[in-house]
Structure 1
Amino acid sequence: MMRLTFPRIMMVLTGALLLTYAFAVAPTTSAERRGGAVTAEAKAPRPRGPFPPAGKTFIGVMTDKGPHDFAPVDQFTAAAQHRPQVMLFSEGWASATFDRALFDRIRDRGMMPMLGWEPWDYRLDERARQQKLTAEEIDRVRSAQPSYRLSRIAGGEFDTYVRSWAEGIKSLGYPVAIRFAHEMNGYWYPWCELVNGNQPGDYVKAWRHVHDVFRAAGATNVTWVWSANVRYTELTPAISTYYPGDDYVDWVGVTGYYGKYDFAPYLSFDEVFKKTITEIRAFSRKPMVVTETGASDHIGRKAEWIKEAFETLPSYPFIIGLIWFEVNKELDWRIVSPPTVATAFARAVAAPRYQVTWSPDMLPRTKLEE
């Protein structure tokens, strides 16, 4: 056996240090001498993803409290026995300034934030509801807001405000989805082209302008979600007239509910969505998200609708997400009541297709072939 003398120990330690330098330190310092080839970006961990993975569909949630109070989200999670991966919340231009804490709270709960960014004063809507106006009267009040006419947005009058949000969202350093001015093909918001003095083509101009302000600010961590309402009548313009183009959109969305209908006691998921989905797929092949949906129990078939809806979703392989409207508003869309509804939802989302996780280092899927 070789004796470990002090000189021999020193030789071994010296050799180990030289090997460490050769394989770890030297390549980095050499690269830096060649002009700083090793950057902070290169040293950062590579993003995982995409989100959601191929063949999966994420489940999201929207509540009336948003990230200001997570109690409704916790109740939804308990009822669904499933943690949502996306949280949609709304902020209106008249009163909301960028607040990083709202986004971080959602992120810290393992959900991707989706901002429903609404260019209007929502307080007019709240006051109209408090006055117990009819639904038609409420729509007229909330949609007549000339200060937020689309031409003013496209003309740059809100650029300072828009830029402040772009810079704030850029500073987050993780992916955020923005659903800007949704349901533009309706008549109940001031950004709808059919009201508020808006003209044909104004919506696309406004969308592109807002998008370009974000791009100029370097806010590249935004997934842009264009979201139409399901079309109930052929008397409204084609939905394609509101589409700003694939270069300006990452996810296409659609909103639709099973509620009360005068012309049918019950409408299946396909009866609510299929016609509009087909129309959207004719002009865009972007990944699709059901950005708002819910079901009422007015004839006792809410649990049945949920079961059938989730069984139908796999027939639309391009739908990568569904966001449930967990709010008691006008009708009770929540899954927390009655227990049969919660059970139906929990069983539906237990399917392997809906087993998805999100983390801030994942890149949102923007192409179906990824």
Structure 2
Amino acid sequence: MAIARRRSCPTVAAILMAAVSLLVSACGAGGGDDARAGTATAPAAHFDASSMLKPSGRALGVVDDKTPWQYGIVTTFAEEAGRAPDIREYYDSWGDDFDPEGNAYLWQHGQLPMLALVPSDTSLTDIAAGKDDAYIQRLADQIASYDGPLALSFAGEMNGPWNSWGPKHTKPADFVAAWKRVHDVFAERHVTNVIWVWTPHVVDTGTPAALRPYYPGDAYVDWVGLIGYYGPIDGVAFSSLFTPTMRQIADFSDKPVLIAETGVAQSDQKEAHIRDLFRGAAKAGVIGLVWYDQRKDWPGGKQLMDWRISTSTGARAAFQVESGRGGFGHPFKTD
């Protein structure tokens, strides 16, 4: 879904590691010299996210376009869903600084931070060519200074023609090269606390492009994150909205699947669609789903859609019952 992206205010680029460790109860080890010749030694992340790559249960998350410190969406979601979310996804634009304190606050309160990094003001070819390496290095060091895990989605919905990095604007090979450049710089900086989430939009009438050319490879991806919505154009059943895309991806990757952004538009079928979403997701074996709990125009149009859980008592009850029945919502285990 095309969501209006907001550029957040930059935060302090450097933070004392001792201050962060007081906020987060996580431990690990890291170190080593910088692998890129001619650059300063990078701070290695203390947190190792490798134990989180294959969750034993299903996470329940929420996404909006506010900063980690704007915690109202978490409180509202907890009231509507009947439990606090395990994932709090938010957006930053390319060039923004990472907020170690805000993300530490989320992790301390039980949410895995998930950052959707949007390259709206730059080109993937420039990123792939190394022209933005200074920013990537700075971002990697800032994320490493946060002593907790981060799920990171770069250039999501790369198969969406509404994005400047999507089809008709950028070739799949350019996306793959840019993804690998970002990933490789993070590896050179010894960043161990990132979960790499590759997030295409589901293949539908608006996004028909084949996904395999966009896939960077299993060595560069930890989770596959799908984006798809039950709405007036596509999305009347899990079997038609998500299953065909999951089958296509299964031909080239067996990485865990997270529904990284979804929602059900208000209609006389909303309760049925919520039940179908959770039952289909549980049957498909996804590791979780992240709900978009806001009102927003449908992509490419002016039709205002209400994706919130609380649009009706029935919708709210269906969400709470089906998420509980499907085993969604669990603390992430880090040991």
Shift of 1:352: 6.0
Task: Return the match for 1:171 from 141, 145, 149.
Answer: 145
The answer to whether structure 1 residue 189 and structure 2 residue 163 are counterparts is yes
Tell me, yes or no, if structure 1 residue 108 matches structure 2 residue 80: no
> Is residue 2:280 matched to residue 1:279?
no
Match of 1:98 in 2: 98
C-alpha contact (below 8 Å) 1:63/1:73 kept by paired residues: no
Measured at CA, do residues 222 and 41 of structure 1 come closer, stay the same or move farther in structure 2, by a change above 3 Å? closer
Kindly provide the CA deviation profile for residues 79-119 of structure 1, in whole angstroms up to 9, marking residues without a partner as x: 1101111111100015x212212211211221111110111
Rg larger in structure: 1
Structure 1 distance, partners of 2:75, 2:159, is 33
Shift of 1:292: 0.5
Same amino acid, percent of matched pairs: 34
Q: Secondary structure at the match of 1:336?
A: helix
Q: How far apart are the structure 2 equivalents of 1:69 and 1:350?
A: 26
Pairwise CA distance, 1:156: 1.0
2:310 counterpart of 1:316: no
Secondary structure at the counterpart of residue 194 of structure 1 = coil
Residues 338, 112 of structure 1: alpha-carbon distance in 2 compared, 3 angstrom cutoff: same
Alignment TM-score, normalising by the size of structure 1: 0.72
Q: CA deviation at 1:51?
A: 6.5
Query: Which secondary structure does the structure 2 equivalent of 1:354 belong to?
Result: coil
Structure 1 segments (4+ residues) deviating >6 Å: 44-48
Distance verdict in 2 for CA 1:91–1:48, change over 3 Å: closer
Letter in 1 for 2:278: F
**Structure 2: 5+ residue runs without aligned partners?**
1-27, 31-45, 298-304
Alignment of 1:46-195 (within 5 A): 50=52, 53-54=55-56, 56-94=57-95, 96-121=96-121, 148-195=122-169
Higher deviation after alignment, 67-76 or 272-281: 67-76
Residues 1:255 and 2:227 are matched in the alignment: yes
Question: In structure 2, what is the equivalent of residue 342 of structure 1?
Answer: 316
Q: What code does the residue aligned with 1:324 have?
A: W
Are 2:183 and 1:216 aligned?
no
More deviation in 225-234 or 237-246? 225-234
Shift of 1:199: 3.2
| Distance in 2 between residues matched to 1:328 and 1:208, nearest whole Å | 34
- Residue equivalent to 2:36: none
**SS of equivalent to 1:284:** coil
Structure 1 runs not aligned, ≥5 long = 1-39, 122-147, 364-370
**Matched residue type, 2:64:** T
Distance 1:117 1:46, change over 3 A: closer
C-alpha distance 47-268 of structure 1, shift in aligned 2 (>3 A):
closer
Q: Distance in 2 between matches of 1:100 and 1:179?
A: 17
What's the TM-score, normalizing by structure 2?
A: 0.79
3-state SS of paired residue (2:248): helix
Residues 1:312 and 1:86: Cα distance change in structure 2 (over 3 Å)? same
In 2, Cα distance between the equivalents of 1:236 and 1:323? 23
Hey, what's the Cα distance between the residues in 2 that align with 1:260 and 1:154? 37
Q: State the Cα deviation string for residues 178-230 of structure 1 (Å, max 9, x = none).
A: 011001011111221421xx234111001000100111111111100001101
Give the distance between the partners of 1:102 and 1:269, measured in 2 at CA.
Answer: 34
1:53 positional shift: 4.1
2: CA distance between counterparts of 1:203 and 1:53?
Answer: 28
Partner of 2:38: none
In the alignment, the residues of structure 1 paired with residue 78 and residue 241 of structure 2 have an alpha-carbon distance, to the nearest angstrom, of 26
